[in-house]
Amino acid sequence: MSEAPAGEAPAAPEVVLALVEVKRHFRQGGNLLEVLKGADLSLRAGEIVALVGPSGAGKSTLLQIAGLLEPADAGNVQVAGVSADRLPDDRRTALRRASLGFVYQYHHLLPEFSALENVMIPQMIAGVPRRRAAVRARDLLDRLGLGARIGHRPGHLSGGEQQRTAIARALANDPRIVLADEPTGNLDPATAAQVFAELLRLAREEGLAALMATHNLELAQRMDRTLELREGRLFSKAIASE
């Protein structure tokens, strides 16, 4: 790794996710509901950012747009330096598959497949050979403490084990960015703290950027910075320690 010349500050990590004046509205009957009114965001490589805000503020909508799963009505989304707003569907899918990993409140694992197979499947869809996919899946599950559970189907895993498997699946294709929507919101407090710690550790080990929506301000405090979604826009938020 090259070093900055003496007397010069090192260059800031590159921006891997940017939202520029993103707007999104929905119609409810005859009413127009403006959810995002010009949201701006820059997420740099290796940075882990909390996204907070009251229920109904639009956090899930923002993550869906940032993850190229839902279009914005206006504004621009840039993923890994690529402006995605005018890409055709097949190129948006390819960009999403190559650059983004998703973790949701509910694990959405395929019930008929084992933990190992659930983590292998997205790799194989992306064209990774089965044997290599199995090696990557086993490594991620081992690092999440699931080495002895890789052959179990989701129905035979605890809630925390299911969510850790979902985290491994999100990281399976070596994304540059992880988007997490209340990833511990369906777990009891002790399990939530453990799963979050493992997600945070693994994201840092992999050098990922992450944007995580959460209602848990204690967890948000452990991230690099916090953004609050309020009245359709994003604001920096300082969270005081207890």
User: CATH number for the 15-236 domain, one of 3.30.460.80, 3.40.50.300, 3.40.190.10, 3.40.50.720?
Assistant: 3.40.50.300
pLDDT class of 1 with cuts at 50, 70, 90: very low
Percent of the chain that is helix, strand, coil (3-state, to 5) = 35, 25, 40
Contacting residues for 180 by C-beta, under 8 A, at least 6 apart: 102, 103, 104, 170, 199, 210, 211, 212, 213
- The yes-or-no verdict on residue 148 having pLDDT over 50 is yes
Q: What is the pLDDT of residues 161-172, one digit of tens each?
A: 998 899 999 999
Q: What is the pLDDT of residues 17-35, one digit of tens each?
A: 999 999 999 887 778 888 8
pTM of the entire structure? 0.86
Pairing of strands 233-237, 225-230: antiparallel
Q: Where are the domains of the chain?
A: 15-236
CA distance 176 to 99: 5
